[in-house]
């Protein structure tokens, strides 16, 4: 037990098919508990023990098995980890079976085993049927199966903001659906409102950016840049700046080649050489190729001379043009400094400005769209909230009537219970503010629960609400940790009767310190603290009839109960004296 998933753990505890019933609980190294192995049955399961014996620790462990939060403080001192496991019935819960199926988990014999391990280092692990799972999935499953009422849970009744959740639980799945619709609608409304607010808050910045982007776009457009333009301008600047040198060089070359004043030019010398060789070409065939080469050179030089003359004559001496080129290059350098490393990047940035300008220019149109969308979303959300409000109004009356009936059965025959519903601004829960009011005595007007001083009354109100909601929610298992706090006498009896009535349709696990409740028919477990090898340990044992007499006698008369307490205990249990003698 307490190790790997084992199907025998399921089949071993097969005494009831009650859905949601906690069949088995195993605890190891949790708080003051070294190891506990408990089998619970259907109906009423009673846990008693002296103050500080560890009763509430068991309820806390059950909570951990059901997916409640925990930390390394839960690990027993000296242990490396705490382990809590539970076997829970699920076979008759379609919703739970759907959740399990979606998660790829198959129950075995209509049960699942859930396991939580908490390391002393703070790490924890959750498993369902041996498969690693998330705590959120475990909680989603067990929320449909088990309802736990801790010692101080009645305090939630003092917080009126939580009353709306109780009412919605009473109203059932339809309230859940409508509340989800309201929450979704309100969320969308808030998103649209936030976007519109952002637009309006940024209006001044938007105007500044619009002017900046427009100036930049105009500056780039006015430059009329073309790709490759800068390279051409740089080449033009070099030529214009060197016009005199170019002209002098071209003229000198031209004179050397074909127009040398007073001297034979290269072209004339080449012509004369070609003519001379041609005149003697008949004398030696080897001169033919030379003549051809020189003739070809002659033609090329003649072409070069013509081109050189044209180039020389076309050289531009234009200081104004040079100034224009320099100015254009300065403009490009300035644009590059602001918008990109090249003309191509500047043009790309200019294109991006158009998109930004369009967005800013269209912001007014977007604001109008948002205002229209907000009006529509607000109408839809409020419509859904009003529908939910009407459902609450109808459910509030039936809920109040159901709680009054439960309170009457809990010895508060004159109690008046109201579910006050007032309108508020729309939020995720709707347009309702819900608060429970009660009058416990005739002639007194109903007042908020927070103004009730009696712990006994608060316990009964809590039990009445639990009983009423259990009837409509079909909660398979309910856990009560000292629901009887602050009560006694006849009130304790009627609380016991109500718990017994709940146990007819649900499994009830109840920790109690009152003999009136401990005497009810059911499985009775006694929780004790012992010293074992100088360490405190907790032990739990299921009591026989004789042991129940002893436990009730202790609860009635203290550590050394009197004969009267023993007789009273027997009477409460309906056990005749001759059946056995009480062991010391």
CB 436 within 8 Å of CB 418: yes
Neighbours of 167 (CB within 10 A): 23
* Confidence band for 57, pLDDT divided at 50, 70 and 90: confident
The 10s digit of each residue's pLDDT in 289-302 is 888 888 888 888 87
DSSP β-bridge partners for residue 83: 28, 117
Rounded Cα gap, residues 149 and 42, in angstroms: 18
* Sign of the four-CA dihedral 91, 96, 99, 103: negative
CB 29 within 8 Å of CB 75: yes
Region for 29 from its dihedrals, namely left if φ exceeds 0, alpha if ψ lies in -120 to 50, beta otherwise: left
Homologous superfamily, domain 1-145+520-540: P-loop containing nucleotide triphosphate hydrolases (3.40.50.300)
Inform me whether the pLDDT recorded for 406 exceeds 60.
yes
How is residue 521 written in tokens? 């028919």
When pLDDT is averaged across residues 517-529 and rounded to a whole number, the result is: 90
**Selection from 397, 205, 237 nearest residue 332 by Cα:** 237
What burial letters (b/e) apply to 71-84, b meaning 16+ CB within 10 Å? eeebbbeeeebbbb
DSSP β-bridge partners for residue 522: none
The 10s digit of each residue's pLDDT in 419-477 is 999 999 999 999 999 999 999 888 889 988 877 655 567 777 888 888 887 766 667 78
Rounded Cα gap, residues 139 and 65, in angstroms: 9
* Confidence band for 264, pLDDT divided at 50, 70 and 90: low
Ranges for all domains in the chain classified under CATH 3.40.50.300: 1-145+520-540
Rounded Cα gap, residues 448 and 435, in angstroms: 7
When pLDDT is averaged across residues 193-213 and rounded to a whole number, the result is: 82
CB 496 within 8 Å of CB 34: no
* Confidence band for 380, pLDDT divided at 50, 70 and 90: very high
DSSP β-bridge partners for residue 434: 421
Which position has the token pair 């408990």?
38
């Amino acid at each position: 037990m307490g190790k790997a998933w084992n199907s025998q753990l399921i089949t071993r505890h097969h005494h009831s098919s009650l859905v949601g019933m906690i069949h088995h609980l195993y605890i190891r190294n949790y708080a003051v508990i070294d190891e506990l192995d408990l089998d619970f049955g259907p109906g009423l399961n009673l846990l008693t023990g002296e103050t500080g014996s560890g009763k509430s620790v068991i309820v806390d462990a059950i909570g951990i098995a059901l997916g409640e939060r925990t930390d390394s403080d839960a690990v027993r001192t000296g242990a490396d980890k705490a382990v809590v496991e539970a076997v829970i019935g699920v076979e008759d819960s379609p919703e739970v079976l759907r959740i399990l199926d979606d998660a790829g988990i198959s129950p075995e014999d209509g049960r699942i085993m859930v396991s939580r391990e908490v390391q002393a280092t703070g790490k924890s692990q959750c498993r369902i049927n041996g498969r690693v799972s998330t705590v959120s999935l475990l909680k989603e499953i067990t929320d449909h199966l088990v309802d736990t009422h801790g010692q101080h849970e009645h305090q939630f009744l003092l917080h009126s903001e939580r009353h709306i959740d109780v009412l919605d639980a009473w109203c059932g799945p339809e309230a859940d659906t409508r509340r989800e619709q309201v929450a979704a609608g309100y969320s969308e409304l808030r998103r649209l409102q936030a976007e519109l607010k952002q637009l309006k808050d940024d209006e001044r910045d938007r105007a500044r950016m619009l002017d900046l982007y427009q100036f930049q776009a105009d500056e780039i457009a006015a430059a009329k840049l073309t790709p490759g333009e800068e390279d051409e301008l740089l080449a033009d600047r070099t030529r214009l700046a060197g016009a005199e040198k170019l002209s002098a060089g071209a003229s000198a070359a031209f004179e050397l080649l074909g127009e040398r004043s007073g001297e034979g030019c290269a072209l004339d010398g080449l012509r004369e050489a070609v003519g001379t060789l041609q005149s003697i070409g008949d004398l030696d065939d080897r001169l033919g190729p030379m003549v051809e080469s020189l003739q070809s050179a002659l033609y090329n030089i003649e072409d070069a001379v013509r081109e050189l003359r044209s180039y020389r004559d076309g050289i531009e001496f234009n200081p104004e043009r040079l100034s224009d080129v320099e100015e254009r290059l300065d403009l490009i350098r300035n644009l590059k400094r602001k918008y990109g490393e090249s003309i191509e990047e500047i043009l790309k940035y200019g294109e991006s400005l158009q998109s930004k300008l369009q967005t800013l220019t269209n912001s007014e149109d977007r604001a109008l769209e948002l205002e229209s969308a907000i009006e529509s979303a607000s109408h839809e959300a409020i419509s859904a909230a009003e529908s939910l409000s009407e459902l609450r109004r109808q459910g509030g009356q039936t809920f109040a009537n159901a709680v009054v009936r439960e309170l009457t059965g809990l010895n508060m025959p004159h109690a008046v219970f109201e579910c006050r519903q007032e309108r508020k601004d729309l939020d995720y829960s709707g347009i309702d503010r819900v608060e429970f009011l009660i009058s416990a005595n005739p002639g007194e007007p109903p007042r908020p629960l927070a103004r009730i001083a009696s712990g006994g009354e608060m316990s009964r109100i809590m039990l009445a609400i639990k009983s009423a909601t259990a009837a409509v929610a079909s909660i398979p298992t309910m856990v009560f940790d000292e629901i009887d706090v602050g009560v006694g006498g006849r009130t304790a009896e009627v609380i016991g009767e109500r718990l017994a009535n709940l146990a007819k349709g649900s499994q009830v696990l109840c920790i109690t310190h009152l003999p009136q409740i401990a005497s009810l028919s059911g499985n009775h477990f006694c929780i004790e603290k012992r010293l074992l090898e100088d360490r405190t340990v907790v032990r739990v044992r299921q009591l026989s009839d004789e042991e129940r007499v002893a436990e009730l006698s202790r609860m009635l008369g203290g550590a050394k109960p009197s004969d009267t307490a023993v007789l009273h205990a027997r009477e409460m249990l309906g056990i005749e004296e001759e059946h056995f003698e009480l062991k010391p």
